[in-house]
């Protein structure tokens, strides 16, 4: 029998548990009713979504400075990440950030304690081991890893109390050309991604444990691509400064940004300096810069060359013939697929609805169509494509107007449904996918497109402030279509009209390139190996490597119903460094695309590894690591690790996203479980001792 003191103590415990029950259930109800972000007080403070918030308090602050140098069709970018440690302890900082999906990342430097340390390219596992060994020994160290072609991780070890360590990353990539103008898109935030699949057994290791989602059988690296997310952060969280030195080589009709307010200063003929009007901006949306040459000065071809380690490299851009000479289009079967998941809430779903309605207006007699939406489930308006008559179009317009954004992002079954052609109509079959691409299982999607595309063509339209450009580009390439973006509601009409000009017919099909040197053939390695069809407003861009520079290339293909051929003399190209890296980046992409089409995985790995090591590129199998060899952290001083949170992309709703994403930590389930546990234990205590 218990003593009186014990019974009294248990009575107090029982009443405390009843109190815990009340508070827990009240908080759970509040969160479930108004959403996690609102319950946390979005205006009052910062809300962090993570599986383990303990490490977030140890995170250093971050300031990012980006300098972009543009020459012709190529951009060289330097990203400086300055990690400042405001704490009294020694700290390791971990930051997940995006880069363009075609970035050839070839340099890492670390400024540590007044010294500049150059990074070395190593096989990924070896680089990680060397970094961890240096970290544990108290040495300053920096590690740059690629998680996706457009998602990277920086880890910085042993940042001293009250001091800063700077990491400098450099990369090169070629620019986009469309409809008579160039554009550059630089992502600034890794958007939260839907993580499908069952949790994988086993504990996470290293700094991968900082992800808000655990690894699953469908996304085995989910913990590495889901950094903690800060909601309602002020502008002091991870601010970004961007400057651009644009050397276009010719005067421009305009230099504009659809994403940010900018200041443009003309330095000299064809030379411009661009900066952000606000100086620093939050890292919450892609930075988009576009410029257009004066009428009549658009280039018809551009060639850039480099001799690197004894080999000749070249990057060729060639404009196709005007599409106005093509015959009128044939009838089409158009399948419009729209993402209605929680991440599309707000501005994105409004843009998507407007784009769909504009697309429906473009359909004509003889066309057939269907509309498919997907979130947690997939739903098609019709069981099969229907004629584009007034009855079906009105039905579709009502359906589109009623679309709402909610739930998960089960994109794979939607992709398979859209590509499936149960009753071939003999029409040109085209699938248009409108989404922000916020998914973690891109590889499975690329494989599905490669295996099931059949005679269809796939066109992707990126929606929102921070679309997943990797999904947009790779899916469209695998589907023999094009990709484009809608950055604001004002762009919907122009973007959809341009897309439908491309949907009418490819400008050039079945393209073949024949490289010559003097009177004979030139042995070159061409990237991409197989050139895709070209659509209206798109140029042919191809990179080559050869022991001797080719002097001519013959380009042949189909132009409408007739054969077309053009010969280009390869002389007088501008010499520019880094062309070898762009070629290697394209070759790596080619090998990874072969893996999606069924190529042996080990053959792909060895080929990518060889290219990446030879050209000093960060890849799926290689990393850059920089180590200060003199230990600085005292042996008895502990090291704390902290993950730097990223911002929620502009226009996104925290409650719409984090109330639905698998693996997301919100307080409601925790409060509910605590409340139920309190209820059970308190009931037992009351029955027995009170």
pLDDT reading at 260 higher than 50: yes
Q: What is the mean pLDDT of residues 130-155?
A: 97
Which fold does the domain 327-504 belong to in CATH? Rossmann fold (3.40.50)
Using a pLDDT cut of 70, give the percent of the chain over it. 85
* Burial label, 565 (beta-carbon count in 10 A; 0-12, 13-18, 19+): exposed
For strands 368-374 and 386-387, give the pairing. antiparallel
pLDDT reading at 448 higher than 80: yes
For strands 47-49 and 229-231, give the pairing. antiparallel
**Secondary structure string (H, E, C) spanning 92-134:** EEEEEEECCCCCEEEEEEEEECCEEEECEEEEHHHHHHHHHHH
| Cis status of the peptide bond prior to 456, with omega within 30 of 0 | no
Using a pLDDT cut of 90, give the percent of the chain over it. 63
Query: How sure is the predictor about 204, in pLDDT bands with cuts at 50, 70 and 90?
Result: low
Nearest CA to 145 among 172, 122, 164, 163?
122
Structure tokens at 293: 């040459």
Distance between CA atoms of residues 469 and 207, nearest Å: 25
pLDDT reading at 38 higher than 50: no
Q: What is the mean pLDDT of residues 246-275?
A: 94
pLDDT of 12:
44
Q: What Rg value do the Cα atoms of the chain yield, rounded?
A: 27
pLDDT reading at 214 higher than 90: no
Nearest CA to 200 among 186, 182, 219?
219
pLDDT of 35:
40
pTM for the predicted model, two decimal places: 0.87
pLDDT reading at 46 higher than 60: no
pLDDT of 664:
35
Q: What is the mean pLDDT of residues 571-577?
A: 85
Contact 495, 379 (CB under 8 A): no
Among 12-21, 480-489, 510-519, whose mean pLDDT is lowest?
12-21
Query: How sure is the predictor about 680, in pLDDT bands with cuts at 50, 70 and 90?
Result: low
Query: How sure is the predictor about 96, in pLDDT bands with cuts at 50, 70 and 90?
Result: very high
Structure tokens at 201: 């057994």
User: ∠ CA(397), CA(403), CA(405), 5° rounding?
Assistant: 160
Distance between CA atoms of residues 183 and 286, nearest Å: 12
Q: What is the mean pLDDT of residues 86-93?
A: 94
pLDDT of 6:
40
Q: Rounded to the nearest 5°, which phi and psi values hold at 371?
A: -125, 130
Distance between CA atoms of residues 21 and 77, nearest Å: 54
Q: What is the mean pLDDT of residues 188-196?
A: 94
Among 130-134, 187-191, 433-437, 568-572, whose mean pLDDT is lowest?
568-572
Cα–Cα distance list, 215 to 128, 159, 199, 303, 511 (Å): 19, 29, 6, 44, 41
Q: Taking phi first (over 0 means left), then psi (-120 to 50 degrees means alpha), and beta for anything else, what does residue 605 get?
A: alpha
The DSSP code sequence of 506-522 is -SBEEEEEEEEETTEE-
The residue ranges of every structural domain in the chain are: 1-35+666-690, 46-54+181-297+648-664, 306-324+516-614, 327-504
pLDDT of 265:
96
Average pLDDT over all residues of the chain: 85
pLDDT of 111:
97
Structure tokens at 678: 């309190």
Taking only the tens place, the pLDDT of each residue in 518-568 is 888 889 999 999 888 888 888 999 999 999 999 999 999 988 778 889 898
């Amino acid at each position: 029998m218990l003593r009186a003191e014990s019974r009294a103590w248990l009575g107090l415990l029982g009443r405390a548990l009843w109190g815990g029950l009340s508070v827990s259930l009240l908080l759970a109800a509040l969160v479930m009713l108004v959403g996690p972000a609102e319950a946390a007080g979005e205006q009052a403070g910062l809300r962090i979504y993570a599986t383990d918030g303990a490490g977030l308090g140890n995170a250093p602050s971050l300031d990012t400075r980006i300098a972009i140098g543009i020459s012709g069709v190529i951009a060289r970018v330097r990203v400086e990440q300055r990690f400042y440690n405001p704490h009294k302890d020694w700290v390791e900082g971990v930051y997940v950030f995006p880069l363009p999906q075609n970035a050839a990342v070839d340099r890492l430097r670390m400024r540590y304690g007044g010294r500049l340390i150059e990074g070395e390219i190593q096989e990924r596992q070896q680089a990680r081991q060397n970094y961890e060994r240096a970290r544990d020994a108290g040495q300053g160290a920096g590690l740059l890893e690629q998680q996706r072609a457009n998602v990277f991780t920086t880890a910085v070890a042993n940042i001293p109390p009250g001091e800063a360590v700077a990491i400098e990353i450099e990369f090169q990539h070629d620019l986009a050309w469309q409809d008579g103008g160039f554009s550059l898109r630089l992502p600034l935030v890794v958007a939260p991604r839907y993580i499908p699949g069952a949790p994988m057994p086993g504990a996470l290791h290293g700094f991968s444990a900082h992800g808000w989602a655990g690894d699953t059988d469908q996304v085995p690296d989910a913990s590495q691509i889901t950094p903690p997310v800060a909601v309602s952060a002020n502008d002091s969280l991870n601010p970004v400064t961007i400057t651009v030195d644009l050397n276009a080589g010719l005067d421009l009709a305009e230099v504009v940004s659809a994403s940010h307010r900018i200041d443009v200063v003309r330095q000299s003929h064809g030379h411009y300096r661009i900066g952000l009007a606000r100086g620093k901006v939050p890292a919450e949306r892609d930075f988009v810069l576009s410029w257009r040459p004066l009428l009549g000065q658009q280039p018809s071809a551009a060639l850039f060359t480099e001799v690197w380690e004894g080999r000749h490299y070249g990057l060729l851009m060639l404009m196709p013939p005007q599409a106005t000479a093509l015959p009128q289009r044939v009838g089409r079967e158009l399948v419009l697929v729209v993402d209605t998941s929680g991440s599309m809430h707000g501005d994105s779903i409004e843009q998507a609805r407007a784009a769909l309605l504009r697309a429906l207006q473009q359909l004509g007699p003889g066309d057939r169509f269907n509309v498919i939406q997907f979130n947690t489930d997939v739903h098609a308006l019709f069981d099969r494509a229907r004629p584009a008559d007034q009855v079906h179009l009105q039905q579709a317009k009502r359906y589109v107007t009623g679309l709402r954004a909610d739930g998960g992002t089960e994109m794979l079954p939607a992709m398979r449904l859209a590509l499936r052609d149960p009753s071939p109509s003999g029409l040109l079959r085209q699938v248009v996918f409108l989404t922000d691409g916020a998914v973690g299982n891109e590889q499975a999607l690329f494989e599905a497109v490669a295996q099931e595309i059949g005679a269809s063509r796939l066109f992707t339209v990126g929606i929102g402030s921070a679309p997943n450009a990797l999904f947009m580009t790779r899916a469209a390439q695998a589907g023999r279509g094009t990709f484009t973006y809608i950055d604001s509601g004002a762009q919907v009409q122009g973007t959809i009209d341009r897309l439908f000009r491309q949907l009418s017919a490819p400008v050039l099909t079945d393209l073949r390139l024949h490289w010559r040197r003097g009177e004979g053939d030139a042995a070159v390695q061409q990237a991409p190996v197989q050139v895709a069809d070209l659509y209206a407003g798109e140029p042919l861009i191809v990179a080559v490597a050869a022991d001797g520079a080719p002097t001519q290339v013959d380009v042949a293909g189909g132009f409408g119903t007739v054969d077309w051929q053009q010969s280009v003399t390869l002389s007088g190209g501008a010499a520019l460094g880094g062309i070898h890296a762009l070629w290697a980046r394209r070759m790596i992409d080619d090998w990874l695309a072969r893996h999606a089409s069924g190529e042996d995985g080990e053959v792909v790995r060895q080929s990518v590894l060889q290219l990446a090591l030879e050209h000093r590129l960060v890849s799926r199998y290689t990393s850059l690591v920089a180590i200060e060899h003199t230990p600085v952290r005292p042996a008895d001083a502990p090291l704390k690790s902290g993950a730097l949170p990223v911002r929620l992309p502009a226009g996104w709703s925290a409650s719409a996203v984090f109330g639905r994403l698998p693996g997301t930590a919100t307080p409601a389930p925790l409060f509910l479980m605590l409340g139920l546990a309190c209820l059970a234990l308190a009931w037992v205590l009351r029955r027995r001792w009170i």
